[in-house]
Structure 1
Amino acid sequence: MPSLARIAAIIAALLTGSATMCPAADAPEGRLVEIENPLASSQPLQGYLRQPRDAGALPAVVLLHGCNGGWRQLDERWGKLLVSWGYVTLAVDRFGPRGLTSTCAGGPPPATVFDAYRALDFLVQQSFVDRDRVAVIGFSQGGLLALNSVERGTIERASNDKFRAAIAFYPPCLGIKDSMTVPTLILIGELDDWTLATECRNLVEGRDDYGISRQKGLGVPIEFIVYPGAYHAFDVPSLATPVKFLGHRLEFNQAARDQSVDAVHKFLYATIGGQEKLQ
């Protein structure tokens, strides 16, 4: 029987495959950047930065990968698309500096919870980024980190600069205890058996992990979209043939992916501006 490491490698290879969606042939090339000076941290972050050809200070998006890594593939899948819409993008490598390959067997390491803000701190120092128009988008475990970054609490308060919007693709919602501080969008598959839609619905509707209602009227409302017939990782085209990973089904869903592209575009335009029409 294949080892867990072997299965993880297979999943990573699948995610590396033909993972682009809505290919933007004219998307500007990006570059690998050091998010922090190595002297500033024992684990300096790196990431892949894409910058539109448009002049002036532009809105930007931080991209956070899931528990199996794949930050380069995330850039291919979403970074190219977002930059073609006029957004600066920064796909963060949460694992490389820490020597990690997978954190799927548990939650995100505590050291990673501030990575989104470390990326934000880098972006706001760039002359081509509008510091008041930066959003964070995370996927699976990265989606949890995106939610944590805008949840009212210690992490959100720790940074002088703030995210203006957050999007979480199929995040684990269990354990989110407080309200959101900015407009937030959660996108999840109806049949997701890894990160459950019911748990996210409880969060959105103001109930705690036990279904008990929280205090009403606090925080910014969360927009919530559930895609019928969709499983975990529904936006990854290389998973057109479903796979099982840690007992969970991962499967691309064309309809859900297309609808999520439209939802993300509209949400970003409404919250941080950018191009109004899909290209």
Structure 2
Amino acid sequence: MPSLAKIAATIAAIAALLTGSATACLGTDLPEGRLVEIENPLASSQPLQGYLRQPRDAGPLPAVVLLHGCNGGWRQLDQRWGKLIVSWGYVTLTVDRFGPRGLSSTCTGGPPPATVFDAYRALDFLVQQPFVDRDRVAVLGFSQGGLLALTSVEGGMIERISNDKFHAAIAFYPPCLGIKDSMTVPTLILIGELDDWTLAKECRNLVEGRDDYGISRQKGLGVPIEFIVYPGAYHGFDVPGLATPIQFLGHRLEFNQAARDQSVDAVRKFLYATIGGQEK
């Protein structure tokens, strides 16, 4: 087993790679975003913060909450996807799940229990903004953030006790093992065929109505999941900084240009079909 120091060094190296993976030229007319406090610091000992981007269009507009993976890197996620999605006419809020909690990585375990409501805490912030249409907000997560996106819209306790609801969800290469309930809103899962960290077959079981042991779930419940598997793609296929593949905790991370391009098109079409926005 690698030492903690080696794991920390690898995480730092990945962060450096992600820093250089900003979205390619989107033009210079994009509005600047701003760091926001998602909730009043007095309301929580660990108040969330995030990076908010708002199109120049008049509102109220559809919006997307973005959730980073187990390595953190919310700034890089905003650069990679926040900038792109706001250029399509959506408000974006990229959540920093780690900073307020003093975390740097949660890759050797599951998401901390304190983070499971973060998507809804971000949603609560967005629906209070006059430029956001509260009935057209989606959640988009990556890897561990993808798991949190799915658990935010499956028919369990988290979704039931939340006042406002997401109206769509997207998960990039999420760990699907352990998701027990059906989805309550249109959901899109995108994953690499060769992903050896979050396995496509586990997500296929979820999509096709089987549980983790291959046993059928109750039929006819929930909203169908759209499922896309990209041939030849590994974990992190949308991250240009991984053009040179790396091994991390025994798993291969690798950028795949074809899968990235196809996923951009899939996300745009899915968002337009579910919460509206600019048609391609």
CA distance in 2 between counterparts of 1:190 and 1:257 reads: 13
Shift, 1:15, TM fit: 1.1
User: Per-residue deviation at 1:13?
Assistant: 1.0
Q: TM-score, normalised by structure 2?
A: 0.96
State whether structure 2 residue 192 is matched by structure 1 residue 189. Answer: yes
CA contact (8 A) 2:21 2:76 kept: no
- CA-CA distance at 1:12 after TM superposition: 1.1
Cα deviation, 1:3-47, whole Å, max 9, x if unaligned, reads 5445444x1111111332463432211000000010000100000
TM-aligned CA deviation for residue 77 of structure 1: 0.2
Distance 2:2 2:28 in 1: 38
Counterpart CA distance in 1 for 2:213 and 2:106 is: 26
1:90-113: CA deviation from partner (whole Å, max 9, x where unpaired): 000000000000000000000000
- Between the aligned partners of 2:202 and 2:194, the Cα distance in structure 1 is 13
* Counterpart Cα distance in 2 of 1:91 and 1:5: 29
Cα distance between partner residues in 2 of 1:42 and 1:12: 27
Secondary structure of the corresponding residue to residue 206 of structure 2: helix
Any conservation in 2 of the 1:52–1:87 contact (CA below 8 Å)?
A: yes
1:259 alignment counterpart: 262
Is 1:178 matched up with 2:181? yes
Runs of 4+ in 1 over 6 A off after TM superposition: none
Q: Is the 8 A contact 2:169 2:185 kept in 1?
A: yes
Q: Aligned-pair distance for 1:242?
A: 0.2
Deviation string, structure 1 residues 222-274 (Cα, Å, up to 9, x no partner): 00000000000000001000000000000000000000000000000000000
Separation (CA, whole Å) in 2 of partners of 1:156 and 1:22: 37
Q: Is the 8 A contact 2:21 2:80 kept in 1?
A: no
Q: Is the 8 A contact 1:21 1:78 kept in 2?
A: no
Unaligned runs of 5+ in 2: none
The RMSD of aligned alpha carbons is 1.3
Residues 24, 184 of structure 1: CA spacing in aligned structure 2 closer, same or farther, 3 A cutoff? farther
Give the whole-Å Cα distance in 2 for the aligned partners of 1:26 and 1:257: 24
- Contact 1:236–1:252 (CA<8 Å) still a contact in 2? yes
Instruction: Work out the percentage of aligned pairs sharing the same amino acid.
Output: 91
Contact kept in structure 2, 1:172 and 1:200, CA below 8 Å: yes
Q: 1:272 and 1:71 mapped to 2: Cα distance?
A: 23
Does the 8 Å CA contact 1:21/1:237 hold for their aligned counterparts?
no
Indicate how the Cα distance of structure 1 residues 260 and 206 shifts in structure 2: closer, same or farther if over 3 A, else same: same
Is the contact between residue 46 and residue 92 of structure 1 (CA under 8 Å) also seen in structure 2? yes
Aligned length: 276
- Cα shift at 1:176: 0.1
- Go from structure 1 to structure 2 and tell me whether the alpha carbon gap of 1:93 and 1:202 turns closer, same or farther (over 3 Å shift): same
Q: TM-score, normalised by structure 1?
A: 0.96
1:215 Cα deviation (Å)? 1.0
**Structure 1 spans left out of the alignment, 5+ residues:** none
Tell me what 1:7 maps to: 7
Cα gap change, 1:109/1:30 in structure 2, threshold over 3 Å: closer, same or farther? same
